[in-house]
Amino acid sequence: MNVLNHLSVWLSFQLSIVFIIGIPITLSLWSIQKQNKALNKLLSIYWKISLLFFISLFLLIGKYKYALIITNIATLLMTISIWFWNDINDELREYDFSNSLTTMTKVWRWSLTFISFNFLIQSLQNTSCLTFINSAACEVWLKPSSNFYVIIKNLFNFLFGANFTQPIAKFIGLFSLLIYILGLIQWSIIKLPKNGRNSCFSENGRT
C-alpha cells in the first residue's frame, strides 16, 4: 500500500470515530431531550447493530485473520440499519430544514453511508487483507486499533488486576461475534417476518 492509501485508511478510521461514535452519541442525547420517538428508535437500533463494529475492533487487536471482513460487514449493517425502516423514513420526510435535529440526522445518515462504502472500496484495493490481516502489507489496518488496545489494556488491568493480551482480545471478539450472530438470526426468524420494515416506533403514539 502506498503513502496515499496509508493516509486514506488512517483518515477513514479517524472519521469513523466522529460518525460512528461521536455524532450518534450527540444525536441520542438530543433526541431524548426532544422526546422524538422516531429518532430514539432509530438510534436504539443503530447502537445494537453497531456492536459488531466494536467486536471487529477486538478482532483487529487479536489479529484475527478475517477481522477486516467483519469490519466491513459491520459498517454495511450499520448503514442498512439507518435506512431500512419505512415508518422512520416517512417521519423524517415530514420535517424541513428548519428542524435542526432531523436535519443533522439526515446529514449523519449520508455521511455514514459514504464512510461505509469508502471502507469497502479501500478494502478491495488490497483484497489479501480481507482473508489474512497479519501480513506486513496489512499493518496499516491494525494501527488504528492499537490506541483502543491501550485503553482496554489499562482499563482491564485497573478492574481485574490482570494483563489484557491479544489472545484475550481475540477470544472476547469471537465469543461476542457468536452471540451477535445468534441474536441476528433470532431477529431474522422471529421479528423480521412479523414487522417487516416497520420499526414500530409509533406503537405508543407519535411525537
pTM of the predicted protein model: 0.88
- Whether 206 is in a domain gets the answer no
- Whether 129 is in a domain gets the answer yes
CB of 45 closer than 8 Å to CB of 199? yes
Report which DSSP code applies to 139.
Answer: H
CB of 143 closer than 8 Å to CB of 10? yes
Cell of 159: 478492574
- Whether 85 is in a domain gets the answer yes
- Whether 200 is in a domain gets the answer no
> How many domains in the chain?
1
**pLDDT tens track of the chain, all 207 residues?**
466 666 777 777 777 888 999 999 999 999 999 999 999 999 999 999 999 999 998 998 888 999 999 999 999 999 999 999 999 999 999 988 888 999 999 999 999 999 888 888 888 887 888 888 888 778 878 777 777 777 777 777 777 767 788 888 899 999 999 999 999 999 999 999 999 999 988 765 444
- Whether 88 is in a domain gets the answer yes
Residue 160 to residues 12, 79, 163, 164, 176, Cα–Cα distance (Å): 33, 36, 8, 10, 19
CB of 75 closer than 8 Å to CB of 115? yes
Q: Check residue 143 and give left, alpha or beta (phi > 0: left; psi -120 to 50: alpha).
A: alpha
- Whether 207 is in a domain gets the answer no
The amino acid at residue 90 is D
**Domain extent at residue 175:** 3-195
